[in-house]
Structure 1
Amino acid sequence: MSLQAQLEQLLQPLSAEYLEILNESSGHGGYFPGKESHFKVTVVSPVFEGLGLVKRHQKVYALVGDLLAPAKIHALAIHAYTPQEWTGERPDSPACAHAPKTENS
């Protein structure tokens, strides 16, 4: 099972109203087709009601922590919202300093 599919499965206890998992590995150094090392998770859940940002991230880490290990997920960006906070937009990820260079870079 892919790391992305494992993330999706492990996040099910959050009862997300919206869950988006993006594999952003191609924008980072050492990328090759099929690599899974950098992910961005956007999750909207009532579980986050009354919780600050740190507590929300701790809930996510508690569910997926075993995947955050060498040879698995190197980086996980988390955007966690309550249903009332969710505007339908998530922030863009910054460019990686070690991203593969293109002809225009």
Structure 2
Amino acid sequence: MHNTATGPVASEIAARLTEALEPTHLEVVNDSGRHAGHSGDNGTGESHFTVIIESGAFVGRSRVERQRLVNRALSDLLVERVHALAIRARAPGEES
């Protein structure tokens, strides 16, 4: 079981997604502990995340388009601070 992440990178992810996509549901899960010592583990404990997001911005958009919206909101973080990001994006009323 994962807890919603609360570190500085996770908080920045949540803030940016909230501003860009106005989600009705948002979870930022820190998966970094499962990747300790692996490629991309930068030792900060905040390098691998899962984002579970529901937003009206996703209505009528494909899975790829939804992921692009999330990636665009986080673009510099994905280059500088986040090694891996799993995205589960849905529109309101869709099953996860």
Which structure's CA Rg is the greater one?
1
**Could you say whether these structures have the same fold, taking a TM-score greater than 0.5 normalized by the shorter chain as the test?**
yes
Deviation at 1:69, TM superposition (A): 1.9
Once the two structures are overlaid, the 10-residue window that deviates more, 60-69 or 25-34, is 25-34
Taking structure 2 as the reference length, what is the TM-score of the superposition?
Answer: 0.81
2:73 & 2:86 partners in 1: Cα distance? Answer: 14
Q: Are 1:75 and 2:81 counterparts?
A: no
Matched residue SS, 2:72: helix
1:33 & 1:63 partners in 2: Cα distance? Answer: 24
8 Å CA contact retained: 1:26, 1:32: no
CA RMSD of the aligned region, Å?
Answer: 1.9
2:65 & 2:46 partners in 1: Cα distance? Answer: 26
2:63 & 2:51 partners in 1: Cα distance? Answer: 14
Taking structure 1 as the reference length, what is the TM-score of the superposition?
Answer: 0.74
Q: Which 4+ runs in 1 deviate beyond 6 A? A: none
Deviation at 1:49, TM superposition (A): 0.3
Q: How many residues align?
A: 86
Higher fraction of helix = 2
Equivalent residues in 2 for 1:26-105 (5 A)? 26-30=33-37, 35-70=45-80, 72-87=81-96
In structure 1, list runs of 5 or more residues that go unmatched: 88-105
In structure 2, list runs of 5 or more residues that go unmatched: 1-6
Letter in 2 for 1:66: D
Letter in 2 for 1:63: A
Percent identity of the aligned residues? 35
